[in-house]
């Protein structure tokens, strides 16, 4: 079985590894219909995160259940499923409060990687959500997007309290930020300001419902567009100190920052945060909470987040996919096993 | 007119200064029934904040309106009023959203200090709230507490989403933390854990409705009391990095931290915050939003926050009041002009 493995920063190769097997009665084996490369995969690729040992890559997945362990009853072989990047039991108090990515039994959903042909998913009962039937091919990219990048953008919009009457600004024009635009509009935001200096991404943002594009960094233009007050809601989808401060400073007092960029070397100054009066919420998106709603919106063709994939490659060309995303030639790369 | 002035860290003296006068038509002159020393006054007293020039002290006040400017109609001479430490117009979009301490016209409510006999209050129309009549003497300390320390503790509890069914922990056993306990209980919290190692403060916390006292630092004991998950809501009422991290680490994923200690030299680590999954909200309490409700609760004797004052001195002995609070001999000192 083929798996994309990162051996060092900038080095990805597709290797043969043994087929996954059921280890725990709560496991399932899923044959992937499609998988993809995440913006967060670029952190180790760029050497920002260490690569101490060869690492099977990927954590986004959608496909057909092939085998389930004896304790799994909610999904069965033959069903098409989508799951989150963290496995969760979906029954503990934290899960029931909607924070499945902090489940007390949380573990990686793709311990052997998801940029592969087949994968073992732990805690399958609480982690996987079946679609109403086998999807037509054109729905697969959108369902795959629900596994992380749509769910993460959506959580950012929810954490930022996007809703009717609100002006929402989005910091970051990667796939998560772009789908944050889509989420904010679907949640009823009146105005969505996408911050981007890249024309293809600006176009995608407009497709997803952005009402304004801001190309300048800093808060002056955002303030201009919001009567000097700042946006009600800001989605942060990068994960650097610069992007966090851009988000906090773009938000009006009493407004909400939803931050979903995985923080890297970020320290927030307490005094400025104190006087900013913003609400700050974010973290790893509890995609499992959102999946039933997102699958329904995709299945009924109310949203089409799959257009965020602007490059599709066979799994064996994963290395080229990483290069394309690293060089910002592609927003997000779909891999076909 | 006598005013308490800080001339250097550790140095407070009561000086004669000119009587305040109406400068703007939006001003009012208030004769103070009582004033007090704030925990935040200890930052410059202890040299943590610079004292570049002699500083008239104090920002908490309750008393009788003596004169109003021509633009002030909502309060009139002879009324007893309470106001917030920041003046606000109470009409701008930020005020209407409930964040009066970030009013677009915000300014200090006590530009000449409030540890004095009379003070000029700017933006009096939006800042001052009249009580239903002249209060009996025993209500004055509670009404004075509403001006800051009760309002701040209450905002901390609201920001921490304290409410029915919740377990609330309170970091900080100063007057704000203790009144955060009172607020959390009034807001319906099932369990309120006060963190304190000082017996007199523990007793006050119990009087205000704490159900548990934790004397240990760290999160082990809080986790023990919350099935290993952490509190739903944590009120932070100190303002140091240590207290902020104590608050964040004491909160369960998806829970809320309400932080009202004025941040000093705090830097929050982004990675830990990201994976904590907490909601973070706080800042200078918009006391004006809360005043009508707090005054009503005090007037109808449903709450008695004034017991937080455990030392009362004449204004001329302000220096002794600062010493008593600095040495933690007093929780909060009331000064009689």
Tell me: the pLDDT tens digits for B280-301? 999 999 999 999 999 999 999 9
Tell me: the pLDDT tens digits for B92-116? 999 999 999 999 999 999 999 999 9
A160 chain-B contacts, CB cut-off 8 A: none
Which of B277, B279, B287 to mutate against chain A (most A CBs within 10 Å)?
B277
Q: What is the pLDDT of residue B5?
A: 97
d(CA B250, CA B223): 7
Q: What is the pLDDT of residue A263?
A: 85
SS3 category, B255: strand
- How many CB pairs below 8 Å do chains A and B form together? 117
The token pair at A266 is 């970020």
For B179-224, the DSSP string reads HHHHHHHHTT-SEEEEE---HHHHHHHHHTT-SEEE---SSHHHHH
Exposed (0-12), middle (13-18) or buried (19+): which is B279, by Cβ within 10 Å? buried
Asked if the C-beta of A277 comes within 8 angstroms of chain B's C-beta atoms, the answer is yes
d(CA A114, CA A61): 6
**Cβ within 8 Å of A, B 194-233:** 227-229
When CB atoms are compared, the residue of B241, B263, B279 closest to A274 is: B263
Task: Note the maximum CA span of chain B.
Answer: 59
d(CA B14, CA B3): 5
Q: In chain A, whose CA is at the least distance from the CA of B272? A: A263
Q: What is the pLDDT of residue A136?
A: 98
Q: What is the pLDDT of residue A264?
A: 86
Interchain contact, B268 vs A267, CB within 8 Å: yes
Q: State the virtual CA torsion across A207, A212, A217, A221 in degrees, nearest 10.
A: 180
Asked if the C-beta of B98 comes within 8 angstroms of chain A's C-beta atoms, the answer is yes
Residue A107: CB atoms within 10 A of its CB come to 12
B278 chain-A contacts, CB cut-off 8 A: 281
Interchain contact, B264 vs A280, CB within 8 Å: no
DSSP classification of residue A137: G
Tell me how close the Cα of B286 comes to any Cα of chain A, in angstroms.
10
When CB atoms are compared, the residue of A229, A241, A277 closest to B93 is: A229
pLDDT at residue A281 greater than cutoff 90: yes
B274 chain-A contacts, CB cut-off 8 A: 239, 259, 262-263, 266, 282-284
Average pLDDT, chain A: 97
Residue B22: CB atoms within 10 A of its CB come to 16
Q: Are B59 and B166 in contact (CB under 8 A)?
A: no
Average pLDDT over residues A184-204: 97
Tell me: the pLDDT tens digits for A96-116? 999 999 999 999 999 999 999
Model confidence band, residue B218 (pLDDT cutoffs 50, 70, 90)? very high
Tell me how close the Cα of B166 comes to any Cα of chain A, in angstroms.
13
- In this prediction, what percent of chain B has a pLDDT beyond 90? 97
The residues that bridge with B280 in the sheet, in sequence order, are A280, B257
Q: What is the pLDDT of residue B203?
A: 97
pLDDT at residue B262 greater than cutoff 90: no
pLDDT at residue B263 greater than cutoff 90: no
When CB atoms are compared, the residue of A253, A264, A270 closest to B266 is: A270
Interchain contact, A244 vs B280, CB within 8 Å: no
Interchain contact, B280 vs A283, CB within 8 Å: no
Q: How much is the ipTM here?
A: 0.96
d(CA A63, CA A83): 9
Q: What is the pLDDT of residue A83?
A: 97
Asked if the C-beta of B104 comes within 8 angstroms of chain A's C-beta atoms, the answer is yes
Average pLDDT over residues B191-215: 97
Interchain contact, A283 vs B271, CB within 8 Å: no
pLDDT at residue A301 greater than cutoff 90: yes
Q: What is the CA radius of gyration of chain B?
A: 19
In the block, residue with structure tokens 């099932």: B190
Q: Answer positive or negative: Cα dihedral of B164, A160, B238, B217.
A: positive
Q: What is the pLDDT of residue A201?
A: 96
Asked if the C-beta of A253 comes within 8 angstroms of chain B's C-beta atoms, the answer is yes
Average pLDDT over residues B247-276: 96
Q: Are B210 and B232 in contact (CB under 8 A)?
A: no
Model confidence band, residue A232 (pLDDT cutoffs 50, 70, 90)? very high
Interchain contact, A263 vs B283, CB within 8 Å: no
Domains and CATH numbers, chain A: 2-148+286-336 (3.90.180.10), 153-282 (3.40.50.720)
Interchain contact, B274 vs A282, CB within 8 Å: yes
What HEC string does B222-244 produce?
HHHCCCCCCEEEEEECCCCHHHH
Q: What is the pLDDT of residue A222?
A: 98
Interchain contact, A98 vs B254, CB within 8 Å: yes
Interchain contact, A254 vs B98, CB within 8 Å: yes
Average pLDDT over residues B130-140: 98
When CB atoms are compared, the residue of B104, B253, B262 closest to A102 is: B253
Q: Are A192 and A184 in contact (CB under 8 A)?
A: yes
Average pLDDT, chain B: 97
Interchain contact, A269 vs B267, CB within 8 Å: yes
Q: What is the pLDDT of residue B264?
A: 86
pLDDT at residue B247 greater than cutoff 90: yes
When CB atoms are compared, the residue of A229, A280, A281 closest to B94 is: A229
Q: Which helix (H) or strand (E) holds A43?
A: helix A42-45
For B278-327, the DSSP string reads -EEEESS--HHHHHHHHHHHHHTTS--GGGG--EEEEGGGHHHHHHHHHT
Average pLDDT over residues B33-42: 95
């Amino acid at each position: 079985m083929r798996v994309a493995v990162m051996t060092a920063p900038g080095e990805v190769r597709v290797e043969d590894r043994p087929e996954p097997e059921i280890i725990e009665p709560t496991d399932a084996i899923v044959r992937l219909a499609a998988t993809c490369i995440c913006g967060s995969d670029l952190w180790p690729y760029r050497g920002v995160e260490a690569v101490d040992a060869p690492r099977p890559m990927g954590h986004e997945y959608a496909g057909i259940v092939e085998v389930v362990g004896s304790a799994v009853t909610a999904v069965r072989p033959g069903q098409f499923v989508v799951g989150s990047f963290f496995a969760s039991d979906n029954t503990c108090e934290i899960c029931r409060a909607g924070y499945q990515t902090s489940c007390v039994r949380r573990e990686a959903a793709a311990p052997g990687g998801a940029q592969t042909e087949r994968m073992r998913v732990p805690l399958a009962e609480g982690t996987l959500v079946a679609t109403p039937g086998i999807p037509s091919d054109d729905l697969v990219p959108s369902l795959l997007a629900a596994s992380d990048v749509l769910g993460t953008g959506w959580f950012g919009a929810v954490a930022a309290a996007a809703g009717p009457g609100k002006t929402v600004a989005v910091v970051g024009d990667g796939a998560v930020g772009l789908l944050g635009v889509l989420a904010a509009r679907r949640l009823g935001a009146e105005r969505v300001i996408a911050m981007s200096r890249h024309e293809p991404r600006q176009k995608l943002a407009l497709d997803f419902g952005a009402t304004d594009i801001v190309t300048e960094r800093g808060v002056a233009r955002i303030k201009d567009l919001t009567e000097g007050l700042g946006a009600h809601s800001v989605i942060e989808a990068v994960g650097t100190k610069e992007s966090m401060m851009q988000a906090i400073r773009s938000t009006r007092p009493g407004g909400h920052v939803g931050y979903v960029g995985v923080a890297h070397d970020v320290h927030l100054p307490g005094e400025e945060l104190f006087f900013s009066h913003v609400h700050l919420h974010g973290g790893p998106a509890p995609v499992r909470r959102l999946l039933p709603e997102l699958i329904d919106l995709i299945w009924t063709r109310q949203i089409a987040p799959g257009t965020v994939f602007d490059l599709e490659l066979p799994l064996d060309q994963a290395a080229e996919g990483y290069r394309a995303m690293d060089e910002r030639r592609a927003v997000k790369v779909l891999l076909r096993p």
